Structure 1
Amino acid sequence: MKSSIQISKAFETQLSSNSREVNGPIQHVYWTIDVPNQRAGTGHHEWLSGPNYPVFRVGDNELCISTGRHQTLLSDSQLSNLKKSFKPACNILITFSDAKTRKQVPMKKENGQMVMVPLFQSQENIAGKISIEPLQGKKIEHNGVKVELLGQIEMYFDRGNFYDFTSLVRELDVPGDIYERKTYPFEFSTVEMPYETYSGVNVRLRYVLKVTVSRNYGGSIVEYQDFTVRNYSPPPSINNSIKMEVGIEDCLHIEFEYNKSKYHLKDVIIGKIYFLLVRIKIKNMDLEIRRRESTGSGANTHVETETLAKYELMDGAPVRGESIPIRLFLSPYELTPTHRNINNKFSVKYYLNLVLVDEEDRRYFKQQEITIYRLQDS
């Protein structure tokens, strides 16, 4: 039975488990280990099942193990040994060969912290070196060392389960012992990375280098290094304008026009609104940019809509024949390219939403999908 361990601020130091490394100070860290339930006086070990699995709680000076049947307080020496057991057997450092010259971009980690990671695009070579250094006075007995390049999709409602759409492996070492720092070069040539890195409301798509030192006992040692992928598109050969007439019979009739239907991330939306018939009292008019993220499929589809921008076009009542210009710059907003059916897992679409509000606060709107793409910087 796998059990969670919650470690409080008592462990203000660098800790690591088999697959996670956390740099202190720490408030709450969750580990996953195998914990047997030892019945007092019998010497019998039983793997726990059901709701009463052990929970480790760290107070100021003591650690309490609760199995639901009894509680045991650990002594200072036991607590010290437990702390030591969480320390890594070695330090693993992943560096890219062109780290000094390659562009770095910010990326938000799961804990909300922003870090700088290297930027790549599809068909590039990804190369570097991996250094493994045992802790002083220790050696590492292992069953091999490997590095993987993974492209993964994770649904937040299925957190922890990754769908690999790209998986490349390089074996770095055969089984043996590591007594001192050892460095391994690696290279993945012309890597096909068809999708961009994306972090949304219910889904994220990431690329990562994963180094694994396989061991029989103590668990394998794993280190991750994220990087970002952005792919660029040329200007579309066909980019039609959007022109529509909408309204309410005998009350309101407007015509709107946008200069094109496909925009790059730093583009400008230019258009006009024509009032052909106005028999209701309009108070104001806004243009919104909305992002719609769809995850899953069929009955399990989850849809999240965000309003990313709200631009006031008009404040006050229009009159028949009036024309309102539109000029909306996209660069200030955190947009991504449009993603359509990425690996049959999710889609991200963008819409221009024209909203009119009358004096009784009734809202009238018309939504139109647009395509957003990433244009290569000049």
Structure 2
Amino acid sequence: MNFLGFGNSASFVLKFTSAIRGRPTKKIKHEDGGVEELVIFQGHEPIQGEVTVIPKGKKLEHVGIKVELIGQIEMLHDPSRNSEFTSLVSELDSPGLLYNEKTYGFNFANVPKQYESYRGLNVRLRYFLRVTVTKPYGTSTKEHEFWVQNVQPEPEINNSIKMEVGIEECLHIEFEYQKSKYHPNEAVVGKIYFMLVRIKIKYMELGIMRRESTGTGDNMVTDSDKLTKFEIMDGCPVRGEAIPVRLFLSDSNLTPTYENVNNQFSVRYFLNLVLVDQEERSYFKQQEITVWRKDLG
């Protein structure tokens, strides 16, 4: 995996060398419709590679060449709150002249990457390399992003979810999900029992809701994003009927549950059960679940 960057007087080629063959990748969709494929690293892994600097013209005069590894949180609607939580520099060359292309190795072996990469509604958490050639009259730079995911141990306790909801003398249902903690490639399995039905139900659906919170106290902003929904019943049930539930999570693009990442943001997930009656009135119940990462990808 490499990239080519262009400056006024030099171009750069960066190549990862840390066990790149067979490594999983993450496809990122951009707002313009383009798709970028990023290499996935675990937080404990070194980031190793090579940078080749190619002068344009007969020579390149510079006062230093460096590569930086940066971890950054970007607040999309308030750039003044952007922050860097990791920043390391590897000096590649001292001031001098380059007449031909030259390749430099780098190795960020002990870089804390405790947070996972994330792209949400209002916040992004990014890791990237920045190559800089400083010249007497300016700089040439290029950034290249990579993705970080951290495998987590399986939860020791994973209780089922059992709840009763309803409307007095109109509707009474009980729902049960086998687990309360899921990894992103798992399926939600359970049943919904109708104990009392006195309204004409048109259909019922189950979905995944992501709730993203940024800031603290009075400055906290919370937004919800419906990631997926699936119709699990069509038509009106009768008393005593049990509806099976099987909702696959793999297409929902889930991250682990995040709690107060670097005192900047949190991400939580909810199962969203919705019933719609013949008059298009909606009845819903949300139940929080925990998402943890079992493997990369």
Question: Normalized against structure 2, the TM-score is what?
Answer: 0.92
Instruction: Map residues 180-195 of structure 1 onto 2, 5 A cutoff.
Output: 180-195=100-115
Q: Partner residue of 1:268? A: 187
1:140 positional shift: 2.2
Q: Measure, in 1, the Cα distance between the counterparts of 2:229 and 2:28.
A: 25
Which structure 2 residue ranges, 5 or more long, are not aligned? none
Which structure 1 residue ranges, 5 or more long, are not aligned? 1-19, 23-86
Q: Partner residue of 1:61? A: none
Larger Cα-atom Rg: 1
Match of 2:151 among 225, 232, 237: 232
Q: Measure, in 2, the Cα distance between the counterparts of 1:156 and 1:256.
A: 38
Q: Partner residue of 1:164? A: 84
1:111 positional shift: 4.5
Show CA shifts across 1:78-111 (max 9, x none).
xxxxxxxxx6210011111144453333233565
Give SS of 2:77's match. helix
Instruction: Map residues 294-305 of structure 1 onto 2, 5 A cutoff.
Output: 294-305=213-224
Q: Partner residue of 1:41? A: none
Query: Pairwise CA RMSD of aligned residues?
Result: 2.1
Q: Measure, in 1, the Cα distance between the counterparts of 2:12 and 2:54.
A: 7
1:304 positional shift: 2.0
What letter matches 1:114 in structure 2? V
Show CA shifts across 1:116-163 (max 9, x none).
2221001111111111111022x2222211111111111111348641
Q: Partner residue of 2:94? A: 174
Q: Measure, in 1, the Cα distance between the counterparts of 2:232 and 2:23.
A: 41
For the pair 1:369 / 2:288, whether they are aligned, the reply is yes
Q: Partner residue of 1:205? A: 125
Question: Normalized against structure 1, the TM-score is what?
Answer: 0.73
Q: Measure, in 2, the Cα distance between the counterparts of 1:199 and 1:161.
A: 16
CA contact (8 A) 2:176 2:191 kept: yes
Relative contact order, CA 8 A, sep 6+: which one is greater?
Answer: 2
324-333 vs 110-119, which deviates more?
A: 110-119
1:275 positional shift: 1.2
User: 1:183/1:232 Cα in 2 relative to 1: closer, same or farther (>3 Å)?
Assistant: same
Q: Partner residue of 1:136? A: 57
User: 1:295/1:377 Cα in 2 relative to 1: closer, same or farther (>3 Å)?
Assistant: closer
Show CA shifts across 1:242-284 (max 9, x none).
1011111111111111111000111111111111112222221
For the pair 1:223 / 2:142, whether they are aligned, the reply is yes
User: 1:263/1:301 Cα in 2 relative to 1: closer, same or farther (>3 Å)?
Assistant: same
Q: Measure, in 1, the Cα distance between the counterparts of 2:35 and 2:233.
A: 38
CA contact (8 A) 1:122 1:190 kept: no
CA contact (8 A) 1:154 1:160 kept: no
Taking only the aligned residue pairs, the percentage that are identical comes to 54
Show CA shifts across 1:35-86 (max 9, x none).
xxxxxxxxxxxxxxxxxxxxxxxxxxxxxxxxxxxxxxxxxxxxxxxxxxxx
Point out the structure with the larger strand share: 2
User: 1:187/1:311 Cα in 2 relative to 1: closer, same or farther (>3 Å)?
Assistant: same
Q: Partner residue of 1:359? A: 278
Instruction: Map residues 1-378 of structure 1 onto 2, 5 A cutoff.
Output: 88-97=8-17, 98-109=19-30, 111-137=32-58, 139-159=59-79, 162-217=82-137, 219-376=138-295
Q: Measure, in 2, the Cα distance between the counterparts of 1:104 and 1:310.
A: 26
